[in-house]
C-alpha cells in the first residue's frame, strides 16, 4: 500500500468501480451511503452532459474515485459525489442536508461558496483567494475535494475552447498547485502541475517527457539490480522494508530542475530514484548506514529531512551513491507515516488506518501552515508574487482596467502590453498608467499590474525609439510594419505634392 499512486481514470466509470475501491476499507452501511449519494447526484444532474460529451455524473464520480484511491474518509467521498449539485441543478443544499446530514451539507456549502475561480482583475483575484482561504480555514476537507474536482477538470480540458483551457491550466499551476504543495500534498501537487504543463508549454512538455522516458528505460534493469542488492543486504542486518520501489520524478518538477541546471541532464540524479519505506524511524537511519556501507555516497548529497523537515513538513532521508559500475543513484528513505504524509499531506489525516478507524483530525500542521499562508497572501499583492511558482518568473500577467489578462514575458513594457491588446492601441499609444500612476513607456511591468494605455487618436504612429525597449516579437513586428507604412505614405505624398 505504500506504493499507491493516484491515477486519473480515463474510462467511463460506474458506481461499482467506486464501491469496489471503497470496499477495501468501508463497511456495508458506508457503501450504502455512498450509493445513495451517487443516485441522488445522478438524479439531480439528470440529462446534463459534460463539454466532453459524457454524462455529467462522470465528473463527480471520477473526482470521488480519485479520493477513494487515497482511502479517504467516506464522508468526503459522499460530499464529492454531490459537490456540483447546488450550483448546477435545482436541488438545494437544504435538501441535501435533510437527506445526508449537516456534515456532508457543510462541505458542499463550502465548495459552492468557493464558486469558480476566475482571472478577472486583481481585486477579484484577491477576493477569490480570500474566499478560498476562508473555506479552507472553516473546513480543510473542502480544499481536498476542490483539488480532486480540479484534477478531473484538468484531465478533460480537451473539451474546452483553447482560451479557457489555458486559463484553467494557469490557475491550477499558479493557485492550486502551490497550495497543495504548502499543505504537503505531493501527489496532488504533482498531478495539478503535470496535467497543466502540456497546455502551457507543449514543446517543453514533450522534451521533458522524452528525457524522462529515456532515463527510465535506461535505468530500469539497473535499478532492479540495485533494489535486489539493497533488499538482500538489509535482510542480513534484520531490516525488513515495508516496500522498496523505483520512483519517476514528476514532469513539471523535472522541468523546473532542468531550467535551473540549464538543461544539463547529467547533473540531475533523481529522474528515477529508489524509495525505501520502513516500519520505524531507527530502521531509516540503519538503512542509510547499510546503503552507505554497500555503495560510496556522493559528497554533500546526504540530506536529513527527518531531523530538519522541509517547510511544508516533508520528511525523508536522501542520499546519492555511486552504485554498480559507478552509476549514480538517489535513495529516499522514510517511514510509512512519513510516506503517507509526503504523498497526501493534510489529506492523510482523513485517511483510514488498517483498523478502519479515522485518525484524529486535531492538532495538525495544516492549521499552522494555513495561518502562515493566509497572512502571507492576503497582506498584499507583493507577497502573492512570492508564492507564485517558477513559471511566473519568466511570464507575467498584467490586467487591463476591465480585468482582462494579458500574458507577457518578464520585463515587458506598456508598449508591449498595448500591442498585445490591438495594433491600433499600440500605434496610437501616447502614455501609460500602471496602477493609476503615470509611468514612462519603457517601465517594466510586473505580474498583477493594472495597465491603462492612454491613446491619442491624432497620433501618426509608433516612435522608432520604442524598438529599443520592447520585449515581444509581436510588438516589434507591428512597430516595424507601421513605420514602413508611414514611410511609404510619406514618400507617396512627397512625390505627388513635392511637400514633406
Ligand atoms: Mn466540479
What's the chain's average pLDDT? Answer: 83
Alpha helices, H only, 23-120: 28-45, 58-68, 74-81, 85-88, 93-100, 102-114
Give the residue numbers marked as catalytic.
Answer: 87-88
What is the spatial distance between Cα 71 and Cα 10, in angstroms, rounded to a whole number? 20
H/E stretch holding 394 reads helix 391-394
Question: At residue 304, what are phi and psi to the nearest 5 degrees?
Answer: -105, 85
Among 7-21, 282-296, 355-369, which is the least confidently predicted range?
355-369
C-alpha 250 to ligand 1 mean position (Å) = 25
Please tell us whether the domain made up of 204-350 is placed in CATH 3.40.50.720: no
Give the CATH class of 15-159: mainly alpha
Give tens-digit pLDDT for 248-279.
899 999 999 999 888 888 888 888 899 999 99
C-alpha 156 to ligand 1 mean position (Å) = 12
C-alpha 166 to ligand 1 mean position (Å) = 18
Instruction: Read off the C-alpha cell for 217.
Output: 528505460
Other Cβ atoms closer than 10 A to 378: 14
Q: State the number of CA atoms in the 13 A half-sphere of 394 facing the CB.
A: 7
Give the closest residue to 79 by CA, choosing from 274, 265, 350. 350
C-alpha 84 to ligand 1 mean position (Å) = 5
Q: What per-residue confidence (pLDDT) applies to 343?
A: 80
Alpha helices, H only, 428-472: none
Distance of CA 426 to the CA centre of its chain: 34
Q: What per-residue confidence (pLDDT) applies to 52?
A: 87
C-alpha 337 to ligand 1 mean position (Å) = 30
> Does the pLDDT value for residue 96 go beyond 70?
yes
Give the closest residue to 175 by CA, choosing from 128, 210, 214. 128
> Does the pLDDT value for residue 40 go beyond 70?
yes
What is the spatial distance between Cα 10 and Cα 66, in angstroms, rounded to a whole number? 11
User: With contact defined as beta carbons under 8 Å apart, do 112 and 357 qualify?
Assistant: no
Residue ranges of domains in the chain: 15-159, 204-350, 394-499
C-alpha 63 to ligand 1 mean position (Å) = 8
Contacts of range 20-25, beta carbons closer than 8 Å, 24 or more positions apart: 21/65, 21/68, 21/69, 22/68, 22/74, 22/77, 24/71, 25/71, 25/352, 25/356
C-alpha 149 to ligand 1 mean position (Å) = 5
What is the spatial distance between Cα 354 and Cα 71, in angstroms, rounded to a whole number? 10
C-alpha 181 to ligand 1 mean position (Å) = 21
C-alpha 385 to ligand 1 mean position (Å) = 27
Residues facing residue 304 across a β-bridge: 317
For residues 480-494, give the mean pLDDT: 65
- pLDDT category, 133, cuts 50, 70, 90? low
C-alpha 151 to ligand 1 mean position (Å) = 10
C-alpha 235 to ligand 1 mean position (Å) = 48
C-alpha 297 to ligand 1 mean position (Å) = 47
Distance of CA 12 to the CA centre of its chain: 24
Give tens-digit pLDDT for 182-231.
777 888 999 999 999 999 899 999 999 999 999 888 887 888 899 999 99
SS3 179: helix
Give tens-digit pLDDT for 407-423.
787 789 999 999 988 88
Q: Which CATH architecture has domain 394-499?
A: Roll (3.10)
Other Cβ atoms closer than 10 A to 182: 21
C-alpha 59 to ligand 1 mean position (Å) = 7
Give tens-digit pLDDT for 320-350.
999 887 788 999 999 998 888 778 776 666 6
Question: At residue 423, what are phi and psi to the nearest 5 degrees?
Answer: -65, -30
User: With contact defined as beta carbons under 8 Å apart, do 306 and 316 qualify?
Assistant: yes
What is the spatial distance between Cα 184 and Cα 369, in angstroms, rounded to a whole number? 10
Q: What per-residue confidence (pLDDT) applies to 171?
A: 79
C-alpha 405 to ligand 1 mean position (Å) = 24
For residues 86-111, give the mean pLDDT: 94
C-alpha Rg value of the chain to the nearest Å = 27
Q: What per-residue confidence (pLDDT) applies to 48?
A: 94
More confident residue, 309 or 182: 309
**Identical fold at 204-350 and 394-499?**
no
Residue tagged 500542521 (cell numbers): 365
User: With contact defined as beta carbons under 8 Å apart, do 57 and 18 qualify?
Assistant: no
Residues facing residue 395 across a β-bridge: 409
Amino acid at each position: 500500500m505504500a506504493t499507491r499512486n493516484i491515477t486519473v481514470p480515463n474510462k467511463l466509470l460506474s458506481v461499482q468501480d467506486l464501491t469496489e475501491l471503497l470496499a477495501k476499507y468501508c463497511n456495508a452501511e458506508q457503501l450504502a451511503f455512498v450509493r445513495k449519494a451517487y443516485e441522488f447526484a445522478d438524479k439531480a444532474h439528470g440529462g446534463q452532459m459534460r463539454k466532453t460529451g459524457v454524462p455529467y455524473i462522470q465528473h463527480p464520480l471520477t473526482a470521488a474515485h480519485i479520493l477513494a484511491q487515497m482511502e479517504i474518509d467516506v464522508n468526503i467521498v459522499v460530499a464529492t459525489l454531490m459537490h456540483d449539485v447546488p450550483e448546477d441543478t435545482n436541488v438545494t443544499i437544504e435538501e441535501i442536508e435533510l437527506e445526508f446530514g449537516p456534515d456532508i451539507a457543510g462541505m458542499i456549502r463550502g465548495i459552492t461558496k468557493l464558486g469558480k475561480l476566475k482571472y478577472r482583475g486583481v481585486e477579484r483575484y484577491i477576493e477569490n483567494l480570500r474566499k478560498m482561504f476562508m473555506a479552507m480555514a472553516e473546513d480543510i476537507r473542502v480544499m481536498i475535494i476542490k483539488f480532486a474536482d480540479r484534477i478531473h477538470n484538468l484531465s478533460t480540458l480537451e473539451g474546452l475552447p483553447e482560451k479557457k483551457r489555458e486559463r484553467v491550466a494557469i490557475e491550477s499551476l499558479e493557485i492550486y498547485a502551490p497550495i497543495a504543495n504548502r499543505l504537503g500534498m505531493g501527489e496532488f501537487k504533482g498531478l495539478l502541475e503535470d496535467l497543466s504543463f502540456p497546455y502551457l508549454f507543449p514543446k517543453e512538455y514533450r522534451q521533458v517527457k522524452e528525457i524522462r522516458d529515456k532515463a527510465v528505460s535506461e535505468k530500469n534493469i539497473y535499478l532492479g539490480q540495485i533494489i535486489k542488492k539493497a533488499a538482500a543486504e538489509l535482510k542480513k542486518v534484520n531490516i525488513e522494508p515495508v516496500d522498496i520501489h523505483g520512483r519517476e520524478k514528476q514532469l513539471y518538477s523535472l522541468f523546473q530542475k532542468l531550467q535551473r541546471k540549464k538543461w544539463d541532464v547529467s547533473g540531475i540524479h533523481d529522474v528515477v530514484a529508489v524509495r525505501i519505506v520502513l516500519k520505524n524511524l531507527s530502521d531509516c537511519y540503519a538503512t542509510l548506514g547499510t546503503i552507505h556501507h554497500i555503495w560510496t555516497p556522493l559528497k554533500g548529497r546526504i540530506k536529513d529531512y527527518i531531523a530538519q523537515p522541509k517547510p511544508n513538513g516533508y520528511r525523508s532521508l536522501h542520499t546519492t551513491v555511486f552504485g554498480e559500475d559507478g552509476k549514480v543513484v538517489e535513495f529516499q528513505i522514510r517511514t510509512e507515516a512519513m510516506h503517507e504524509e509526503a504523498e497526501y499531506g493534510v489529506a492523510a489525516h482523513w485517511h483510514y488506518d488498517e483498523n478502519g478507524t479515522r485518525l484524529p483530525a486535531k492538532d495538525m500542521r495544516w492549521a499552522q501552515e494555513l495561518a502562515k499562508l493566509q497572512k502571507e497572501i492576503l497582506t498584499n499583492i507583493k507577497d502573492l508574487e512570492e508564492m507564485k511558482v517558477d513559471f511566473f518568473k519568466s511570464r507575467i500577467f498584467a490586467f487591463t482596467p476591465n480585468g482582462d489578462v494579458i500574458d507577457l514575458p518578464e520585463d515587458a513594457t506598456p508598449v508591449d502590453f498595448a500591442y498585445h491588446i490591438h495594433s491600433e492601441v499600440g500605434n496610437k499609444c501616447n502614455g501609460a498608467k500602471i496602477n493609476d500612476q503615470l509611468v514612462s513607456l519603457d517601465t517594466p511591468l510586473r505580474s498583477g499590474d493594472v495597465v491603462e494605455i492612454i491613446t491619442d487618436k491624432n497620433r501618426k504612429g509608433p516612435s522608432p525609439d520604442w524598438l529599443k525597449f520592447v520585449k515581444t516579437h509581436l510588438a516589434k513586428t507591428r512597430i516595424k510594419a507601421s513605420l514602413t507604412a508611414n514611410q511609404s505614405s510619406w514618400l507617396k505624398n512627397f512625390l505627388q505634392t513635392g511637400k514633406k
